[in-house]
Amino acid sequence: MKLTSRFTDAFAFAFDVHREQNKKSTTIPYMAHLLEVAAVVLSYGGNEDEAIAALLHDSVEDHPDVSSFEGIAKRFGGAVADIVESCSDSTVMPKPPWRPRKEKYIAHLRGADQSVLMVAAADKLVNARAVMKDYRWVGDEVWGRFNAGKSDQLWYYREVTAAISAAAGNGRARPLAEELKRAVQELEALCSNGEQSR
């Protein structure tokens, strides 16, 4: 599989949408997250539509004022727009309450197709790895960056991983789902050991 100019166009689009955005409570450009998710999708055998959706997966959720599923469909195709929409847990501002929003998203993933699962699993894997990296530096302070606390965040990682794993079955997304499962187990073990050492 070779990437085409569509991927270049998607990068430019994502850059325009997220150019002023940093990762939560950091000075790291948000593009770093999007590039990492796209790289994970590609490294696990994802196709170009999935890699493009990885670059765009937060565009409507984070910036519905400048991005839309209709616009993505027109520019990158319906398959990409469908993946992006399925990976978005909310596109309204302000966002609905955290727990019900996440529960609805988890339920949705249980019936998702392999393309959606590839991007969703890559996104959650990148996030889990980022939390582990920061946890090793600042401990439980890392949870203050999020809209929900430590116990809720760990609940979410467990449940979203279980939903992705169940839906992946023996399909293309299974290896990535398995890697996500290992990362979440490592995150929980790290947090548990951190509590014991304090």
Quick: pLDDT tens for 130-165. 999 999 988 888 888 887 788 999 999 999 999 999
In one letter, which amino acid is 40?
Answer: V
Superfamily per CATH, domain 5-197: Hypothetical protein af1432 (1.10.3210.10)
Give the model confidence (pLDDT) of 18-62 as tens digits. Answer: 999 999 878 999 999 999 999 999 999 999 999 999 999 999 999
The whole-number pLDDT of residue 146 equals: 81
Residue 122 in tokens: 């890559």
Domain ranges of the chain: 5-197
Torsion of CA 149, 105, 125, 17, to 10 degrees: -90
Mean pLDDT score across all residues of the chain: 93
Q: Is 77 left (phi over 0), alpha (psi -120 to 50) or beta?
A: left
